[in-house]
């Protein structure tokens, strides 16, 4: 069975971000997609210190939730990252988590389906949405879209439940993601995955 990991980047386990992700989980259940919701936003996650240990050890030097989640991410077919908006940016904890998760893991993320979900009272959603999507687009992960940008609005979970268009967006996102996961699995069996070139690594020292 296909599986999607959902990361709750909010410090509130049952807050606005959770309410959006919960709406997606209901659809994944109907679509026959296994899910696991992992709470990240209230954990003590420090940022990457660029020590390079992960290239030698194959895991982050800080042995916390990042290393615990890595094998689950490797086995998963899709990843949903949800975050509240703080100062027009995702929660700092989820950003530190994503930096270390993507940088310290050497397994291929190619063709795993990614989706970002953001929650705000009013503004800052699109900037946060853009920041989270960059983890997918540097890793060869197709990005799932919906009928609007993947966002909900509200100051409380009760507010989010009144955001009917936002919840509709979450349901359509989950359906599209389920379709993409099945389509990619079918194409993998018929054609194999696309070739990935890795030889070129261009830098321009001294400003040239």
Cα 117 to Cα 68: distance, rounded to the nearest angstrom: 22
What is the tens place of the pLDDT at every residue in 82-99? 999 999 999 999 999 999
pTM: 0.95
Angle 205-208-196 (CA atoms, 0-180°, nearest 5)?
A: 70
> Phi and psi at residue 205, in whole multiples of 5°?
-65, 155
Structural domain span for residue 112 = 3-207
Q: What is the CATH number of the domain that holds 134?
A: 3.40.50.360
57-83: average pLDDT: 97
44 Cβ contact partners less than 8 Å away, ≥ 6 residues apart: 64
SS3 40: coil
SS3 169: helix
In this predicted structure, the answer to whether residue 123 has a pLDDT above a threshold of 80 is: yes
In this predicted structure, the answer to whether residue 206 has a pLDDT above a threshold of 70 is: no
What is the structure's pLDDT at 207? 55
How many structural domains are present in the chain?
1
Q: What is the CA radius of gyration of the chain?
A: 17
Cα 168 to Cα 165: distance, rounded to the nearest angstrom: 5
What is the structure's pLDDT at 108? 96
């Amino acid at each position: 069975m296909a599986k999607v990991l959902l990361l709750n980047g909010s410090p509130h386990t049952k807050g606005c971000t959770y309410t959006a992700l919960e709406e997606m989980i209901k659809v994944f259940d109907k679509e026959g997609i296994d899910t696991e919701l992992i709470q990240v936003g209230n954990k003590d996650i420090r940022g990457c210190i660029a020590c390079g240990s992960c290239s030698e050890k194959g895991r982050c030097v800080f042995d916390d939730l990042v290393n615990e989640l890595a094998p689950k991410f490797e086995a998963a077919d899709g990843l949903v990252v949800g975050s509240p908006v703080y100062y027009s940016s995702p929660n700092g904890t989820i950003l530190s988590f994503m930096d270390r998760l993507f940088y310290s893991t050497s397994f291929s993320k190619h063709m795993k389906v990614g989706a970002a979900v953001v929650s705000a009272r009013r503004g800052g959603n699109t900037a946060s949405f853009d920041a989270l999507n960059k983890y997918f687009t540097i890793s060869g992960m197709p990005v799932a879209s919906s009928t609007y940008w993947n966002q909900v609005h509200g100051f409380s979970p009760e507010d989010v439940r009144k955001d009917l268009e936002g919840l509709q967006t979450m349901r359509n996102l989950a359906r599209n993601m389920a379709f993409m996961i099945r389509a990619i699995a079918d194409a993998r069996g018929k054609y194999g995955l696309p070739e990935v070139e890795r030889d070129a690594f261009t830098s321009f020292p001294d400003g040239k």
